[in-house]
Structure 1
Amino acid sequence: MDKNKIKTFADHVISDMGSAMGAGLAYVGTKVGLFRSMAGAGPISADELAKKTGLQSRYVTEWLKGMTCARYLDYDPENETYELPDEHAYLLASEGSDHYVGGLFYSVPMMLGMAPRVADAFVHGGGVPFSDYGSEGVLALDLMNRGLYEKRFANYWLTTCPTTHERLTTGGSVLDFGCGSGRVSIALAKAFPKSSFTGIDTDSTSIKVAKDSVLQENLTKQVRFECGTTDQLPDNERYDLITICDCIHDLSDPLGTLENLRNLLFDDGILFVIEPKAADHLEDNIHPVGAMYYGMSVFHCMTQSLASGGPGLGTCMGPASMEALTRQAGFSRFETLEIKSQTNIFYAVGL
């Protein structure tokens, strides 16, 4: 055996464990507001930060040391102070923006907390249904997507479909399938006040959050949410735009769902699909984003599909698989949209 390869891989394992612990510490810092308190504060001591936040000093001290070793914070050994660089705060302390990463950290305990059950599914089959991830699962997804949907959906993403964008400006109808906490419908309703929006999802916890949010935003005349499947929608209802964001790969019946959605589109309507950005072949996904997505697939996406008897398509479908699925469902038009994103890929699908 090659001793250098053993040493290199041992270093790699330690690095992975360091990153895993760093993500866990970042979750704590996000949840209890430590990053937010450090943003723009300049150099600060552990005692000062503990006093500022009202948190336990010993925990704060150890957290600061861990985040320094993970290179999230800068440390001044002479003065024993810590600082969150502005460039890091831009990502860590910017909730509601389109560059906030706190939702990723919220997903860590939500997903890895299910590891024993997922391991059991390796042996006995089945999986973990979405509802079992509870309110923390809903919150994690909300935090991951809210800023992106609010800042980019109407102003950037939909502009790549100019006819649809124009129709919503003058007044159209939109269905968001798998709407989760409702952020797509709410964001688009604000941007297109003459259009009407329906969000539908099978998760009752998500729908409750969505209904509470639309009430707070005073958009109840423009937006409605339903808990269930397309069976809950009127038979004669048709839509100019149907959005399905980051969830086709999660479904128990993706083909049947797409067939149902096809029947709900106007002839010139668009099915706007967002999926995780992945290549068609494994060898092209061997990078950190690929490792993250395959992990998310096992611990969240694929397992919830398998839990309900679905095919478990997995997070990394790739464009070829998505196109094949939509064509099998009866769609004839498929376009990969020219939208820049490090983590997502966008499709416009039509009749």
Structure 2
Amino acid sequence: MEGSEATCDFAEKLEKLFSGTFTSLGIITGLEVGLFDILSNFKEPKSYIEIAEKGGLKPRYVKELLGCMTSAGIVKIDPENEKYYLPENHRKFFDKSKSESCIVQYMELLPTLCTLREKVAKCYPLDGPKGVSPEQYKGYASHMSKVSAVYVNRQLLSYIDQVEGLTHMLESGVECLDLACGTGHTTVIMAERFLHSNFIGGDFMAEQLSVGRDIANSRNLTNVTLQQLNVENLPQEWTERFDFVLCHYAIHDLSNPENGLNEFRRVLKTSGIGLIADVNMHSKHSRNVDNHVASMEYGFSEVHCMPASLSFDDGWGLGAGWGVEYATQLIESCGFEVKMIESGKTVLYIVKKIAT
């Protein structure tokens, strides 16, 4: 069947996609050599030679990189004197401590993704590997956790505020569990905000948790514990233990999401509140057409979420694109009452146990 766009339009689309790849690679290089930090410290436009001198860089390389950045509109240029500047409203995207968005940090994953792509491609043939084991994603997972921390620092507490009664409950002092917490940033942020509550954060990859422990210790937090956990097989003595359970962008990564949700339900008190945050996408591909965020999420999922899950025996390979429709259906089937709140690129599933 013919598509709705002309051949020349499709060719232009492909060219733009390819061009964007080089822009992303240029941004990665700019971050590595400090280009954006240099530009952010200037109060007025500078020549490429002045920029290079400030950073101790070779002018010819800087000039070529600036050509890529100005062509793409990342860096601006004064046509009167060919001097360069980074607009104020662009600078905050490159300042990791004040980042407006995580997209620049995600771009830094491209080299790692290219390496992982080779492993994933081998899984496609019928006689190929069934997946890529989590152990092969250690560097990727560590970086993703750091990127997530930037996002979480800005958004997590606002998510909690959107859940009726949850902020008051946490302020009063309750038992809380943060499942698949990565480096533990989410756990630490909550523990610091709600000092009267106790928080346990757990993740399958134990080596990541040292990051959160160091942060908690530096802030003298005594109400947070980070430990290795299998979300699909939590300690039996935890049945009905927690007043609040959080799982942030992780259910779709599990080898068996149903098992994970059943464990989530088991350890949550009947009176408790659960919060599941995940990607805001539709379950049907046809409903995500022309959604550039969906395209990005499918890309991450194809390289990481899906093959890591499929590497386990009977792994579901659910992936980030499970979508709000199927997610709601699956969560409800595990004995939860679900209320869904869309919050930009994230969807919040507020869950409570249905009495049996």
TM-score of the alignment, normalized to the shorter chain, above 0.5? yes
Partner of 2:330: 325
After TM superposition, list the pairs within 5 Å mapping 1:268-283 onto structure 2: 268-283=271-286
Distance 1:240 1:54, change over 3 A: farther
| Structure 2 unaligned residues grouped into runs of 5+ | none
> Counterparts of 1:54 and 1:131 in 2: how far apart (Å)?
38
Matched with 2:227 is 226
8 Å CA contact 1:135–1:205 kept in 2: the answer is no
Q: Is 1:334 aligned to 2:342, yes or no?
A: no
Verify: 1:311 aligned to 2:312, yes or no.
Answer: no
Alpha-carbon distance between aligned partners in 2 of 1:140 and 1:259, rounded to the nearest angstrom? 26
Hey, what does 1:20 align to over in structure 2? Answer: 21
Deviation, 1:242, is 0.9
SS of 1:58's equivalent? helix
The 1:64/1:131 distance shift into structure 2, 3 A limit, reads farther
Aligned pair partner of 1:217 in 212, 216, 219: 219
Checking the alignment, whether the CA contact within 8 Å between 1:158 and 1:164 is kept in structure 2 is: yes
**Offset of residue 178 of structure 1:** 0.6
Aligned partner of 1:54 in structure 2 is: 56
The alpha-carbon distance between structure 1 residues 344 and 31, as it changes in their structure 2 partners (threshold 3 A), is farther
Q: Tell me which residue corresponds to 1:153.
A: 156
1:166 aligns with 2:168: yes
Structure 2 length-normalised TM: 0.89
SS in 2 for 1:318: helix
Once the two structures are superposed, the pairs formed by residues 104-115 of structure 1 within 5 Å of their partners are: 104-115=106-117
CA apart distance, 1:97: 4.2
Alpha-carbon distance, 1:94 to partner: 4.4
Matched residue pairs, number? 344
Q: Distance in 1 between matches of 2:57 and 2:211?
A: 29
Deviates further, 297-306 or 45-54: 45-54
Match of 2:87 in 1: 85
Match of 2:184 among 182, 185, 198: 182
The alignment partner of 1:121 has SS state of: coil
Aligned residue number for residue 262 of structure 2: 259
In 1, Cα distance between the equivalents of 2:210 and 2:63? 38
- Kindly provide the amino acid, as one letter, of the partner of residue 6 in structure 1: T
Q: Residue deviations 1:39-85, cap 9 Å, x none?
A: 25231222222222233433322221111122211122442221111
Establish whether residue 289 from structure 1 lines up as the match of residue 293 from structure 2.
yes
Taking the aligned partners of 1:95 and 1:313, their CA distance within structure 2 comes to 33
User: Deviations for 1:280-299, whole angstroms, at most 9, x for unmatched residues?
Assistant: 32222112112111111111
Say which is worse superposed, 273-282 or 49-58, in terms of deviation.
Answer: 49-58
Question: Given that residues 149 and 184 in structure 1 are in contact (C-alpha distance below 8 angstroms), is that contact kept between their aligned partners in structure 2?
Answer: yes
SS of the aligned residue for 2:277 comes to: strand
Q: SS of 1:317's equivalent?
A: helix
1:134 corresponds to which residue? 138
Of the structure 1 ranges 79-88 and 256-265, higher mean CA displacement relative to structure 2 is found in 79-88
Shift in alpha-carbon separation, 1:210–1:308, aligned structure 2, 3 A: farther
Deviations 1:277-321 (A, max 9, x none): 102322221121121111111112112111224111121112221
2:253 alignment counterpart: 250
Q: Describe the shift of the 1:120–1:68 C-alpha distance in structure 2 as closer, same or farther (beyond 3 A).
A: same
Kindly state the Cα deviation for residue 234 of structure 1 after the two structures are TM-superposed: 6.2
Instruction: Confirm or deny that 1:195 pairs with 2:197.
Output: yes
Give me the whole-angstrom Cα distance separating, in 2, the residues matched to 1:141 and 1:348.
23
Contact 1:97/1:151 (8 A) holds in 2 = no
Query: Considering only aligned residues, what root-mean-square deviation do their CA atoms show, in Å?
Result: 2.2
Seen in structure 2, the aligned counterparts of structure 1 residues 32 and 132 have a Cα distance that, compared at 3 Å, is farther
Instruction: Tell which deviates more after alignment, 226-235 or 46-55.
Output: 226-235
Contact residue 98 and residue 147 of structure 1 kept, 8 A: no
- Shift in Å at residue 166 of structure 1? 0.8
C-alpha deviations, 1:206-228, integer Å up to 9, x for none?
A: 22222233223322x11111123
The Cα shift of 1:98 comes to: 5.4
- The amino acid that maps onto 1:313 is L
Instruction: Report the equivalent of 2:31.
Output: 30
Choose 20-29 or 39-48, whichever is displaced more: 39-48
Mean Cα deviation higher: 286-295 or 145-154: 145-154
> What is the rounded CA distance, in whole Å, between the counterparts of 1:152 and 1:303 in structure 2?
28
2: CA distance, partners of 1:263 / 1:121: 35
Name 2:40's counterpart in structure 1: 39
